[in-house]
Amino acid sequence: MPPVRAAFCTARNTIEVRETDDPQPGPGEVLVRVRQCGICGTDLHFYNGDLPPSPASLGHEFTGEVAALGEGVEGFAEGDRVAIEPIRSCQTCSYCRSGHYNLCRGRVLLGAYHPGGLAEHIAVPAYALYRLPDNVDFETGALAEPLAVCVHGLHIVGLGAGERVLVLGSGSIGLFSVLAARHSGASEVIATYRHDHQGEAAEAMGATRILKDSEIESLKRGSVDVVVETVGGSAPTLGQGLGLVRFGGRVSVLGLFTQPVQLDALSLMRNEITVTGGITYCRPGQQSDFDVALGIIAADPERARRIITHRFPLADTGSAFATAADKKQGSLKVHVQV
């Protein structure tokens, strides 16, 4: 088979697009011709040197077309337009059987230490495929993965209609947390932001109020029912959230913290605050988080599309990463068109 091109992070701030062997689908797998792939904060952790270079191509927010079917695959045909839920799991453990495959001890995230979507072709398990709705193109379909993270983050804290939500951070996960919260019926969604273009995007996603991150102290303690932390790193946001959520409130942690943080455990106990970490997405009921995310996008694809600020071809993936890493360029979600 002829080689295909794929993008690799080979060192800090270094992306190489090179030829690699064309993957072949094994039993139960599908070969996907990738069409669109977004750059995620996790990808940037590799790029910025926070994580060691991966031997695999990056990218886990992607869509494409079915190019070939492996042995035993039914229900799909060549040419089908699909989004990919980028988790490989064992499919047999208690977590997988209960729909919580995101907790499977054998799970692997495509695009981390396993080949990802910044490539022309990728072989994926058939169970990871979702058909794109007719009114959702490859570009907006690739937003389902980050949106599913946010849908999951609200599921795990049981957000109810009419509740008040504070989203800390207006990167792509923060912005989609705003969108998911409004879709879930939140009566008020406050979003904090660092850069002006992020605040404007939060309003476009449905935030009822936006605050510069330096203005967060203007909020009163107990003014929200749910806090969604999306900043991570070494930010003080988790402690800030604990200080603002109501007694008996809930905090969903979606930001990737790169070092330990200190919390006021006495307030946590005394105020009966529930803090829950969220990792990717799962199938908590009849619908998976990914199903819900695709439904939100299909309901208003143009609103979702506003988060995409930059587009690059695969050959220029290095520039795509540099742009995504530099928020001063006004980037929110950077996409690579494969």
Please report, for the domain that includes residue 99, its CATH number: 3.90.180.10
Q: Cα separation of 106 and 254, whole Å? A: 21
pTM reported for the whole predicted model = 0.96
Q: Cα separation of 234 and 227, whole Å? A: 18
Residue 295 shares a structural domain with residue 260: no
Predicted confidence (pLDDT) per residue in 156-197, tens digit: 999 999 999 999 999 999 999 999 999 999 999 999 999 999
Residue 152 in domain = no
- List the domain range (segments joined by +) for residue 221: 157-277
Residue 87 shares a structural domain with residue 174: no
Indicate the pLDDT class of residue 2, thresholds 50, 70 and 90.
confident
Res 51: pLDDT: 86
Residue 123 shares a structural domain with residue 70: yes
Does 1 score more than 70 pLDDT? no
Portion of the chain with pLDDT greater than 70, in percent: 100
Which among 230, 253, 277 is the end of a domain?
Answer: 277
Residue 138 shares a structural domain with residue 217: no
Residue 29 shares a structural domain with residue 91: yes
DSSP readout, 111-136? TTSS--SSBSEEEEEGGGEEEPPTT-
Query: 167 by DSSP, 3-state: which?
Result: strand
Please report, for the domain that includes residue 258, its CATH number: 3.40.50.720
Q: Cα separation of 153 and 331, whole Å? A: 23
* Count of domains for the chain: 2
Portion of the chain with pLDDT greater than 90, in percent: 91
Q: Cα separation of 56 and 119, whole Å? A: 10
Residue 13 in domain = yes
Q: How far is CA 48 from CA 67, 101, 146, 259, in A?
A: 33, 29, 20, 15
